[in-house]
Structure 1
Amino acid sequence: MEDYEVSRVEQTEDPLIHFALFADSDPTTFDEAVQNKNWRVAMDAEIKAIEKNGSWELTDPPKGQKTIGVKWVYKTKMNKNGEIEKYKARLVAKGYKQEFGVDYKEVFAPVARLDTIRLAIALAAQNSWFIYQLDVKSAFLHGDLQE
């Protein structure tokens, strides 16, 4: 707390009392989250989605290659009234531990340009087509990798 300037607070007070602001924050570790039923349900749903999609299979790494770990990321989603809508848990790869040229040789992130989306919507409107929107959970896990 000494790194931050806090107005109208006596600096001689115990700085830990100000951490009450973070009492209802999302968990930062698996050990924290697993103690709460809501987070366990969210993690189970994520694992079931990964298994259902056949996103990966357990295997030994190729000789001379290191593994990349994973971690859980937790986020409480609120509705417009400020009430909890759902607990979202995602299993993400620790890509920040990779080295370019060693662990990977190219970077590719598919992105739709706004102009392309406008064109698709205009064509759909002009031709009376239906438009469906969907969210592909864990789409990043479906890439074919040689590494």
Structure 2
Amino acid sequence: MTDDEVSSFDDSLTHFVLFSYCDPMAFEDAVKESKWRKVMNEEIAAIEKNNTWELIELPAGQKTIGVKGVYKTKLKENGEVDKYNAHLVAKSYKQEFGVDYRKVFAHVVRDDTIRLMISLAAQNSWPIFQLDVKSSFLHGDMEE
């Protein structure tokens, strides 16, 4: 695009579209806005509902790993905000294989869940555009 083409835009807000959706990089930034606090609370509620973790004493000689919030604005095809996501993730880059963990797990959706959703959609003539997973958790016992 040439400078003349850029300056010919009638809508002055067009130039701000690049700056309209800046996701927070840190908890301190996210907590200042109610939309991010809401999705952070939903994430913690899902973690608690699924009994994903329990608070215990740190074993002697072990170090904490820590967690980080990851924040992402999901947009529709037309650029409008679809939803806000906040996820609490372990700082796995601070872990050492053989010391902090021995196995690697990946979050996956159960095939039964996908089949159930597609079956319900087919029975009710619902259109399917995409399937989002609200929360995914590992289904293995971990000792680390």
Q: Where on the TM-score scale, by shorter chain, does this alignment land: which range?
A: 0.5 to 0.7
1:4-40 CA-partner distances (Å, limit 9, x unpaired): xxxx9xxxxxxxxxxx955631000111111111001
Q: Is the 1:50–1:138 Cα contact (8 Å) retained in structure 2?
A: no
Separation in 1 of the partners of 2:107 and 2:50?
20
Within 5 Å, which residues of 2 pair with 1:27-66? 27-66=24-63
TM-score by length of 1: 0.65
For structure 2, the 5+ residue unaligned runs are 4-16, 122-130
Task: Find the partner of 1:73 among 63, 70, 75.
Answer: 70
Task: Find the partner of 1:130 among 102, 119, 127.
Answer: 119
Cα pair distance change 1:64/1:39, threshold 3 Å: same
For structure 1, the 5+ residue unaligned runs are 1-7, 9-19, 122-128
Separation in 1 of the partners of 2:65 and 2:27?
18
Task: Find the partner of 2:80 among 57, 80, 83.
Answer: 83
1:45-73 CA-partner distances (Å, limit 9, x unpaired): 10111111111111112222212100100
Q: Is the 1:76–1:86 Cα contact (8 Å) retained in structure 2?
A: yes
Structure 1 equivalent of residue 22 of structure 2: 25
Separation in 2 of the partners of 1:56 and 1:73?
18
Q: After TM superposition, what 4+ stretches of structure 1 lie above 3 angstroms from structure 2?
A: 20-24, 108-112, 129-134
TM-score by length of 2: 0.67
1:89-144 CA-partner distances (Å, limit 9, x unpaired): 000000110011211123243769xxxx8xxx8xxxxxxx937877261414x542
Q: Is the 2:108–2:136 Cα contact (8 Å) retained in structure 1?
A: no
Count of residue pairs brought into register by the alignment: 116
Separation in 1 of the partners of 2:108 and 2:45?
27
- Taking only the aligned residue pairs, the percentage that are identical comes to 54
> Which amino acid in structure 1 is aligned with residue 25 of structure 2?
T
Separation in 1 of the partners of 2:35 and 2:77?
20
Structure 2 equivalent of residue 139 of structure 1: 137
